[in-house]
Structure 1
Amino acid sequence: MSARTGVRRAAILAASASLALLAVPTATAAPAGLDGPALAKKLTKDVQVEAVNRHLIAFQRIAERNGGNRAAGTSGYDASVDYVAGKLRAAGFDVTTPEFTYPVQVYDATTAKVGSTSYEALPMEYSPQTPVGGVTGPLRVVAEDGTPGCEAEDFAGQDFTGSIALIRRGSCTFDIKHRNAAAAGAIGVLVANNAPGPLGGVTLGQPGVVPTGGVSQADGTALAARAGEAVTVDLRFHEEEKVSRNVIAQTRTGREDNVVMAGAHLDSVEEGAGINDNGTGSAGLLEAALRLGGSPKVNNAVRFGWWGAEELGLVGSTKYVQSLSFEQQLDIALYLNFDMIGSPNAAYFVYDGDDSDGVGAGAGPYGSAQIEKAFTDYLTAEKGVQTEGTDFTGRSDYGEFIAQGIPAGGLFTGAEQIKTEAQAAKWGGRAGVAYDPNYHGAGDNLGNVDRVALERNSDAAAWVIASYAISTEDVNGVPARSSRAAVRASARTFHVAEHHSHAEAS
């Protein structure tokens, strides 16, 4: 992101305000300001939203030239890798693009049939397959409340035994929805999109318990009108191994046994260019790397990762972490994740490292709480933005880092979940609308990004990355330098007092 767009920063921010779903922040008290290392102050100043936006333009044009997307296994993804790697090499980084293999589901059967009408149902990754000919049962529709299928109570009042459950997407993971349905007795699950378009390229995140497929928003509505009728769901596929690449870049300076790592996934879904998901995280991270440079004056080396095949199940980041020995994993002090940092109806979420919200997966490994505080402190003190926690749901690339005990954290502006009235009052934007109505759709393009949120989060990323490049003491459980100085001062005072006491006694 070192090149300029030729458009003044004020013009870009003004243009972004015209977006229909832009989150306009409510009035807040002036930020108090935050003390921090000189490098953090400089990097935050140097990372400009115009340059971040230039990278988004590049990603959009790459998609336009390559069939409309930048999905894993496509020429658009390969061009994205070349763009990012080329910029980093020019900035003096040690850059590699390690290959990894990943399984691709090739569909053999994708139907949900009621009577003589067939609807497209795309098997989710990790879904069990149906037998040839499918499974048949009465269609039971889960009521569309604010959290459809997310609680066991959503399945009360109907007999789901031997049924096919139809659930609207939103508010919780596909895995939770399908497990709740299976626990109620369903033998198959259809999840209907909550935005226009098909529901493909998504994952349960772990091996499922009953066949589960995604249908479009329109087909979901049509199916719901046929509740109670017999439906046959046929979801079958085979897997083929394909090859993709990550981009890994590390500074030539700093300790290599206490590395600060930051990452973002570079691939899009097949439905669109993926400019928010995850062009924004990739672009913000790239500009921070370019402004930092390949040989900065840091105590700890900084390693950046752009992950491939995230949309196919976090494959690139998982393969990378698993490729490291325990000692190599031990060299990584922490991992920072940036996935969707410019959603058009933006929230300001920081991963809940200490589980203070008491929701979902629990706390991250030791050090994650300190990372959460670093981001929250910056956004509050420097940007005047109140943040909320977001659970480590396993939906992004921090997953394998956490699984191996590496502390993690990061930023997120929301996907398909719905913004509440309280959040709209706090952050602006529209209540009752998804944080990103274009999530995994063709509308995820250059025109649907909140550049105010993008600027704030890019700055926060720069601040925290640079701060940890100077010191990771709090994450590693070591008292801060000021604290150690105070301990030494107290010790000196004690020894002086003890000396005086002995002198008086003698």
Structure 2
Amino acid sequence: MNLYRRAAVGAATLAIGGLLATAAPSAAAPSPTLAAPDIPLANVKAHLTQLQSIASANGGNRAHGRPGYKASLDYVKGKLDAAGFTTRIQQFTSSGATGYNLIADWPGGDANQVLMAGAHLDSVSAGPGINDNGSGSAGILETALAVSRAQLKPDKHLRFAWWGAEELGMVGSRYYVNNLPSTDRSKISGYLNFDMIASPNPGYFVYDDDPTIEKTFKDYYAGLNVPTEIETEGDGRSDHAPFDSAGIPVGGLFSGAERSKSSAQAQKWGGTAGQAFDRCYHSSCDTSSNINDTALDRNSDAVAYAIWNLAGDGTPVPPGDSYENTADVAIPDNGAAVTSTVNVTGRTGNAPATLKVDVDIRHTWRGDVVVDLVAPDGTAYRLKNSSSNDSADDVVASYTVNASSEPANGAWKLRVQDVAAQDTGYINSWKLTF
């Protein structure tokens, strides 16, 4: 984790210009039926041992432009290649040295909905960077390998990334975002960042950027009866910032850096009040002994939990369940559109290709009425157009929508607009049947 604040990141990303104009859809979260795996702590620590050995053999660090960084990248890439990922190395230049990002894609999933998880792989030049950020790098590496072991067939396409030169100001991740075509950027449904997840005096902090991603992490910790706090210490100081500035939904975890743990935090999390979460932050003592095993274990499992939940496990949505809103909503005459919402929860995967939409709209001239189904990500499906020749009363009808590209869970809306004068009405009820 570097020392830059969000303001600095915002200034740096202004150069992206028009590329940032279109926001990506929010990361809707299918409810899982296939449980996320337990990530073996021993495996994650084995990766950290390798990163420590690489640093020790290369001048004591894994910093940008130093041989220890490239050796770290080669180690991670070798593991991913053997596990069946498609990997590529992206090169950039910073401070007169060549830098490298490693991108790994898991085959399958909807290419128009990409869930990314990333961590920076570089250390500062002062030390080996095992907590900052070997911990995040190892956690997402072992989660990626767990995806391979499970031969996961997620609804969304999965992409993992290890960033270079984060310690110089998110250079690698910013380069990646800057060079994404706008069409590819719009396909990223969420980016999860993991920077320092095993601090020796740990806290359990959750980014508060995207509500769905935030809730996913909070739900995981609630299941462990571990309280969380909103992450503020590192806000804008890590690789989620360029994604956030580009309008991509982001979230992540953090176990604390140079700030001191308060008495209240020590009471709920344990550890030592008045001491930094990581006393070896950006120091030579950030070695393999600078790791809290409990935090590393919990946070690595949280990475997998988020990936399995947010990407979906490919399980078909069971048919037949209905979700209905019977509250009346007045439709203004020749006015703005109104909406009625049904919240779909507890399902897995995407909606069906034969999603049934039953509407009951009371109106004295139904030809005035335009009706859309709006998916949780804002995509609109036209159900009915207006027609000056349709003078009958009411719209009581059933429609079938191919919503197979949409996650089933979320807030679905019926949007109705009266586009002509002199007749009025209201939404009486509507229903979705899966």
Tell me if both proteins adopt one fold, taking TM over 0.5 as the criterion: yes
1:272 aligns with 2:127: yes
Partner of 1:373: 215
User: What is the one-letter code of the residue matched to 2:122?
Assistant: D
Q: Is contact 1:275–1:446 with CA below 8 Å preserved after alignment?
A: yes
2:104 aligned with 1:249, yes or no?
yes
Whether the 8 Å contact between 1:334 and 1:408 is mirrored in structure 2 is yes
Residues 402-447 of structure 1 show CA distances to partners (whole Å, capped at 9, x for unaligned) of: 0110000000000000100000000000000000000000110111
Task: Summarize the Cα distance change of 1:386–1:94 in structure 2 as closer, same or farther, 3 Å threshold.
Answer: same
Check the 8 A contact 1:44/1:460 in 2, yes or no: no
Q: Provide the residue aligned with 2:32 in structure 1.
A: 37
- CA distance in 2 between counterparts of 1:296 and 1:286 reads 15
Asked if the contact 1:69/1:271 (under 8 Å) is kept, the reply is yes
Q: Does 1:318 align with 2:313?
A: no
Structure 2 residue aligned with 1:448, among 268, 277, 290?
Answer: 290
Aligned residue number for residue 282 of structure 1: 137
Alpha-carbon distance change, 478 to 372 in structure 1, aligned in 2, over 3 angstroms: farther
Asked if 1 retains the 8 angstrom alpha-carbon contact of 2:32 and 2:313, the reply is: no
Alpha-carbon separation, structure 1, partners of 2:201 and 2:117: 25
| 1:49 is aligned to 2:41 | yes
Match among 223, 226, 231 for residue 390 of structure 1: 231
Deviations 1:306-346 (A, max 9, x none): 00000011000000011101101011110000000000000
2:193 pairs, out of 321, 324, 337, with 337
Contact 1:414/1:436 (<8 A) preserved = yes
**Structure 1: which 5+ runs fail to align?**
1-34, 105-240, 354-367, 500-506
Contact 1:420 1:431 (C-alpha < 8 Å) held by counterparts: yes
**Quick check: 1:403 aligned with 2:395?**
no
Equivalent residue letter for 2:166: E
Are 1:427 and 2:269 matched, yes or no? yes
Matched with 2:115 is 260
- Displacement after TM superposition at 1:38 (Å): 3.7
Partner of 2:86: 94
User: Which letter maps to 1:248?
Assistant: I
State the secondary structure of the residue aligned to 2:43: helix
1:72 aligns with 2:67: no
Helix, strand or coil: the match of 1:293?
helix
**What is the one-letter code of the residue matched to 1:302?**
L
Q: What's the CA shift for 1:282?
A: 0.3
**Distance in 2 of aligned mates of 1:471 and 1:91:** 19
Q: What is the CA-CA distance between 1:277 and the residue it aligns to? A: 0.2
- Report matched runs for 1:191-270 at 5 Å: 241-270=96-125
Assess if the C-alpha contact under 8 Å between 1:256 and 1:301 holds in 2.
yes
- Change in Cα spacing, 1:478 to 1:64, as seen in structure 2 (3 Å) is farther
Quick one: distance in 2 between partners of 1:494 and 1:88? 54
SS at match of 2:37: helix
Alignment CA distance shift 1:394-1:416 (3 Å)? same
1:345 and 1:450 in contact (8 A); partners too: yes
String of CA shifts for 1:72-114, please: whole Å, max 9, x gaps: 1011001000000000000000100110111x2xxxxxxxxxx
Q: What are the superposed Cα offsets for residues 123-168 of structure 1, whole Å, 9 maximum, x if unpaired?
A: xxxxxxxxxxxxxxxxxxxxxxxxxxxxxxxxxxxxxxxxxxxxxx
Which residue matches 1:347? 203
Instruction: Tell me how far 1:260 sits from its aligned partner.
Output: 0.3
Q: Distance in 2 between matches of 1:394 and 1:401?
A: 10
Q: Which amino acid aligns with 1:44?
A: P
Given that residues 37 and 146 in structure 2 are in contact (C-alpha distance below 8 angstroms), is that contact kept between their aligned partners in structure 1? no
Shift in alpha-carbon separation, 1:101–1:379, aligned structure 2, 3 A:
same
Structure 2 counterpart of 1:297, one-letter code: K
- 2:24 maps to none
Q: Which residue of 2 aligns with 1:303?
A: 159
Aligned identity (percent) is 48
Q: Give the Å deviation of 1:293.
A: 1.4
Task: Write the distance in 2 (CA, Å) between the matches of 1:471 and 1:293.
Answer: 13
Q: In the superposition, relative to structure 1, how do residues 290 and 478 fare at CA in structure 2: closer, same or farther (>3 Å)? A: farther
Q: Is the 8 A contact 1:345 1:435 kept in 2?
A: yes
CA distance in 1, matches of 2:127, 2:344: 46
- Cα RMSD (Å): 2.7
Q: Are 2:198 and 2:255, in contact at CA under 8 Å, matched by a contact in 1?
A: yes
Structure 1 runs of 4+ with >6 Å offset:
492-495
Q: C-alpha distance in 2, partners of 1:59/1:478?
A: 49
The structural deviation recorded for 1:289 is 0.2
CA distance 1:242–1:345, change in 2 (3 Å): same
1:328 aligns with 2:184: yes
Contact 2:31 2:346 in 1 (8 A): no
Structure 1 residue 296, shift from structure 2 partner: 2.4
Aligned residues of 2:48 and 2:288 also touching (Cα < 8 A): yes
Structure 1 residues 162-194: Cα deviation after superposition (integer angstroms, max 9, x where no partner) = xxxxxxxxxxxxxxxxxxxxxxxxxxxxxxxxx
Residue 407 of structure 2 corresponds to none
Contact 1:60 1:445 in 2 (8 A): yes
Give the counterpart of 1:60 among 52, 56, 75.
Answer: 52
Report the Cα distance in structure 1 between the residues aligned to 2:170 and 2:214, rounded to whole angstroms: 22
The alignment's TM-score, normalised by the length of structure 2, stands at 0.66
Conservation of the 8 A alpha-carbon contact between 1:251 and 1:296: no
Asked whether the equivalents of residues 52 and 287 of structure 2 are also in contact (C-alpha less than 8 Å), the reply is yes
Asked if the contact 2:190/2:249 (under 8 Å) is kept, the reply is yes
Structure 1 residues 399, 74: CA separation in 2 closer, same or farther (over 3 Å shift)? same
| One-letter identity of the residue aligned with 2:92 | F
- Cα distance, 1:492 vs structure 2: 8.6
Q: CA deviation at 1:480?
A: 3.8
Structure 1 or 2: larger strand share? Answer: 2
The letter for the 1-side match of 2:206 is: V
Deviation at 1:379, TM superposition (A): 0.8
Counterpart in the other structure of 2:12: none
